[in-house]
Structure 1
């Protein structure tokens, strides 16, 4: 993206105009939730002020809410490459949807069965499956992580797959160190063994194009607040799985898709914001065609631009001897990672470093970011690390600011 293009994107985010001590805030906290465009806030407000109602009524605002939900299912299907809007379910957040799905899947498991989780994942894609396995008397295996570059050990994965494997749960990308996992290959291997595949795309969604059809996964979940929208969870499932798997649901709730997977009254105002966030993403590239085509063009630009940000930050961090970077640092492998970096600085422990950055207008998270298996394996507990997470509204100038602050501590 040229500088003027990034500037036009940034103009749409009111939060980016906030200042501290006369300087704009550097929002590098995106992995825990991105800022939102004005259009998203407007959509939420407009729904609450002019269309607020429950669904399936005979009156105008209810019919308008029905239309909103139809639009939202279609928009998310385009974002995920699902093809069919009724394969999309909404919920409170990815974690809640995953817990609900894990309970339903566990009904199909029997003692002696096995599931596989990842040592690189956010705990929302670990504990729901582990707890469900415990309830069902099912064994849990974990894919090992190569600690030198924080990538999944696929040989270890192959060795743990068997005819007993019923589910493989893995993230599309690490929310701690930015590693992109080869989910299409993982899905193929799992299916060859007869296992289902659940993908966590929460951290991946703001950075690269999701394609559930190409990947072939059985289920995928993500959260809109990570891709410039409100706090709404999203679940995709293949039709055969969503229709035949028995969810925990209320008796009057529909048996048809997608309603059988959407428990209770939905967050309609938030879902309105989801549609606006996807519309924002579809318009960035400024091309015509279908919304899916527009999203493909947008994400191609985002990927290319964010790789330049990653290259610049990595090159700068390499010059600071006091900083340790965890995960992939080879500049020749930028296609295998997202612009998310966990670091430690010899001068300050993570919490104090995050506070030091915050005092200078840089917002970044410290701790383990719920990626506990990884931070334990890296020996970073109990303090964790500091996560520097960029998205497409961040800039090279911000990188210079952050590097200058880190050099102050040498």
Structure 2
């Protein structure tokens, strides 16, 4: 497995400005083929979907190709792919769809590890339905989920478990399959936030045990939108409120209004771009994705090792809060006696982008008693060892 990093970086116009971007967990830079796909679709010709004119057929093709691409990326049928404005919007929508079937006495479980977009929608839906909310706690020493607390929370009354596949601030990857298997034993559905996970691993929704899985293409080189994946048979059981003339077939029944065809085309181009980075001998797109993402995983793991070694060399001046054994190349840190936002400003003056904040991770910050802001450094496919050195040099100068 090998990546031609020079060739890869050549596809990203934003890298020509000389910045080292370590803000990938908040959204990656965009390669030229994605932008070109968006522009080509917009300038079409383009109309609403149909089967007569070339402009109608272009719109239809954008939708069909989008579903096929994300079926390959997430390993579900194309009819199980739902487009949304964002992962947050999709989670709010599906929390309402699912809550229609909840009754007083039911329970749901959320996780202290999650981004608030996979916590607050469920808590609010539970409040409306009169349902009890229970939580999976975090072990403050390991920053892993406390599975004993999960088993205590789980009961025959549990209707849904919402959990992340990877923390957007700590990088922690909980054992989703084990969590899902236990949930399924009591008849509960499992909703997995894969926004951060999908940026670093090839997703296999059935293998994870997820009943519903959500991700965001702009975290892995695509445009701003959200994607939900589920078995079509499950989607058939859900009945959202919708306009009477709008389609009632799955998955269209969950997509309200006219779809943004140009964004769908860009999201498809992102999948194809990922598949072409290091495709190996793969014939199918899924096989090419597996090889490419395997190579990217090794590349990011190498850089993470360099980054962690450099941070350890700074001693007590840096406290690294990302401690889990199994985690993504995303590191959260606080700086002894220094403000992380000042560090962000200092680094930006050196053309290094490393944001400070709490990043909508309200529950992890509260559970671990972390103060906002903290500094988050995340690796993306286009990062280099030289950029890691630039970050470490800049942070050392700040401290």
Query: Is TM more than 0.5 here?
Result: yes
How far 1:9 sits from its partner (Å)? Answer: 1.2
How far 1:27 sits from its partner (Å)? Answer: 0.4
Q: Which runs of 5+ in 2 are unaligned?
A: none
Q: Is the contact made by 2:357 and 2:374 (CA closer than 8 Å) also made in structure 1?
A: yes
For 1:101 and 1:33, the matched residues in 2 are separated by: 23
For 2:71 and 2:341, the matched residues in 1 are separated by: 39
Relative to structure 1, is the Cα distance of residues 51 and 364 closer, same or farther in structure 2, using a 3 angstrom cutoff?
A: farther
SS at match of 2:127: helix
Q: Partner residue of 1:51?
A: 45
Q: Is the contact made by 2:352 and 2:391 (CA closer than 8 Å) also made in structure 1?
A: yes
SS at match of 1:145: coil
Q: Partner residue of 2:227?
A: 234
2:131 to 138, 149, 152: 138
Q: Partner residue of 2:296?
A: 302
Alignment of 1:108-119 (within 5 A): 108-119=101-112
Q: Is the contact made by 2:176 and 2:209 (CA closer than 8 Å) also made in structure 1?
A: no
How far 1:57 sits from its partner (Å)? Answer: 5.5
Q: Partner residue of 1:154?
A: 147
Alignment of 1:2-401 (within 5 A): 2=2, 5-18=4-17, 24-56=18-50, 58-82=52-76, 84-287=77-280, 288-321=282-315, 322-328=317-323, 333=325, 336-381=326-371, 383-401=372-390
How far 1:347 sits from its partner (Å)? Answer: 4.6
Q: Is the contact made by 1:148 and 1:327 (CA closer than 8 Å) also made in structure 2?
A: no
TM-score normalized by structure 1?
A: 0.94
SS at match of 1:109: coil
How far 1:384 sits from its partner (Å)? Answer: 2.5
For 2:46 and 2:331, the matched residues in 1 are separated by: 41
Aligned residues: 397
For 1:266 and 1:91, the matched residues in 2 are separated by: 9
SS at match of 1:44: helix
For 1:294 and 1:363, the matched residues in 2 are separated by: 31
TM-score normalized by structure 2?
A: 0.97
SS at match of 1:342: strand
For 1:153 and 1:264, the matched residues in 2 are separated by: 41
For 2:170 and 2:15, the matched residues in 1 are separated by: 24
Structure 1 residues 205-239: Cα deviation after superposition (integer angstroms, max 9, x where no partner): 11101101212211011111111000111111222
For 2:299 and 2:119, the matched residues in 1 are separated by: 31
Q: Is the contact made by 1:375 and 1:384 (CA closer than 8 Å) also made in structure 2?
A: no
Structure 1 residues 330-369: Cα deviation after superposition (integer angstroms, max 9, x where no partner): xxx4xx1111111111252121111111111111221110
For 2:351 and 2:338, the matched residues in 1 are separated by: 17
For 1:373 and 1:88, the matched residues in 2 are separated by: 29
For 1:343 and 1:248, the matched residues in 2 are separated by: 43
Runs in 1 of length 4+ with deviation above 6 angstroms?
A: none
SS at match of 1:146: coil
**Superposition RMSD in Å:** 1.3
For 1:256 and 1:266, the matched residues in 2 are separated by: 15
For 1:161 and 1:281, the matched residues in 2 are separated by: 38
SS at match of 1:388: strand
Structure 1 residues 85-124: Cα deviation after superposition (integer angstroms, max 9, x where no partner): 0110101111111111000100000111100001011000
How far 1:29 sits from its partner (Å)? Answer: 0.8
How far 1:301 sits from its partner (Å)? Answer: 0.8
| Range that drifts further, 254-263 or 273-282 | 254-263
How far 1:372 sits from its partner (Å)? Answer: 0.6
Structure 1 residues 308-327: Cα deviation after superposition (integer angstroms, max 9, x where no partner): 11111111101112011112
How far 1:253 sits from its partner (Å)? Answer: 1.5
How far 1:68 sits from its partner (Å)? Answer: 1.5
SS at match of 1:221: strand
For 2:329 and 2:246, the matched residues in 1 are separated by: 42
